[in-house]
Amino acid sequence: MANDKTKPTEEDIAPKHAKAPSANASGTGDGSHKKCPQIAALIVLLVVLVCAAIAGGAYLVWQNAQIAKSAEEAATTPEPEAPAASQDAADPRVENPIDFASLRLENPDIYAWIYIPGTDVNYPVVQHPTDDTFYLKHNKDGEWSEEGAIYTQLANRTDFSDPVTVIYGHNLVQGTMFTTLHRFENKNFFDSHEDMYLYTDGHILTYRVIAAYQYDNRHILNSFNFSDPTIVQQYFESVLSPDSLVENVREGTTLTSSDKIVQLSTCTGDSNHIVRRYLVTGVLVSDQPTY
């Protein structure tokens, strides 16, 4: 186990200065007076343009640096190893590879970590205490970022005890966040990658990937009353029989209203991204206590 347990252990015009025309030595001087305001206005315009160009360039440098930083972090985050079992035979707990105490010092909104083998999904999960849209444009450290973060909304508990938990992440050209979830569109990949993991403070939750498909863009948690077991069961049946041209479903899977599922939600990445979402769904199959 590495000393840094906050990560799982398997993962820039200056335009040329215009030369003001000099007054004609043999002239009357009237033309010079008429030209001076025009020259001054031209100089002011050039200064404004230069400042705007510098400011725009600085912003682009900063934005690119943020994207590069996130990509570097994703590329260097190691993948988790199987946690070591407790030496005490009577203690069923195993070691948690995530140091949540240190993570909470960085950002108290961090409450979980998600890892999906075969993808680049290996990130902390956050939930803002008041603003459901905050992490659309802020990273895991709470800093402004186009990449956003992996997050849930207030409709979900942070212990994953709800019948349906929806986790959101962007689909980005640089391949970070939830972009590589689209690998599940490939049937061979779907068939050979069954498990995903959610780490919390005190638990390692293992989920079996049971379905991956396109869905409409409705807000799932606001559209269904998941406190009603009948509604839950009906929704589960729709998960296993999605109305989608892009779908993979695990054969032989059954769900009951007592099951707990997570749905990873991202953009489709095509012309339908405004009206459709891509969902990867997993059902909880193991809850391993940790120390």
Work out the number of other CB atoms within 10 angstroms of the CB of residue 211.
25
Please give the Cα distance from 164 to 156 (Å, whole number).
8
Which stretch of 28-32, 64-68, 74-78, 90-94 has the lowest confidence by average pLDDT? Answer: 28-32
How many CA atoms lie within 13 Å of 119's alpha carbon, on the beta-carbon side?
28
The pLDDT of residue 74 is above 80: no
Q: What's the predicted TM-score (pTM) here?
A: 0.74
Query: Where in the chain are the domains?
Result: 86-289
Q: Is 51 a catalytic residue?
A: no
Predicted confidence (pLDDT) per residue in 231-249, tens digit: 999 999 999 999 999 999 9
Q: What is 86-289's CATH number, 2.40.260.10, 2.40.33.10, 1.10.760.10, 3.40.50.300?
A: 2.40.260.10
Q: Is 17 a catalytic residue?
A: no
pLDDT at position 99, please?
98
**What φ, ψ does residue 140 adopt, rounded to 5°?**
-60, -20
Q: What is the mean pLDDT of the chain?
A: 83
**Residues 235/226, Cβ–Cβ less than 8 Å:** yes
- Name the active-site residue from 17, 170, 193, 219: 170
pLDDT at position 275, please?
80
How many CA atoms lie within 13 Å of 53's alpha carbon, on the beta-carbon side?
9
Task: Provide the β-strand partners of residue 289.
Answer: 203
Q: Copy the structure tokens of residue 240.
A: 């296993």
Predicted confidence (pLDDT) per residue in 162-219, tens digit: 999 999 999 999 999 999 999 999 999 999 999 999 999 999 999 999 999 999 999 9
Cα angle 179-79-121, degrees, rounded to a multiple of 5: 15
The pLDDT of residue 21 is above 50: no
**Residues 153/210, Cβ–Cβ less than 8 Å:** no
Give 253 or 13, the one with higher predicted confidence. 253
What is the full DSSP assignment across 203-222? EEEEEEEEEEEEEESS-HHH
Please give the Cα distance from 214 to 171 (Å, whole number).
14
**Residues 2/92, Cβ–Cβ less than 8 Å:** no
Looking at residues 79-85, what average pLDDT do you find? 57
Give 270 or 215, the one with higher predicted confidence. 215
- Give residue 35's pLDDT band: very low, low, confident or very high (50, 70, 90): low
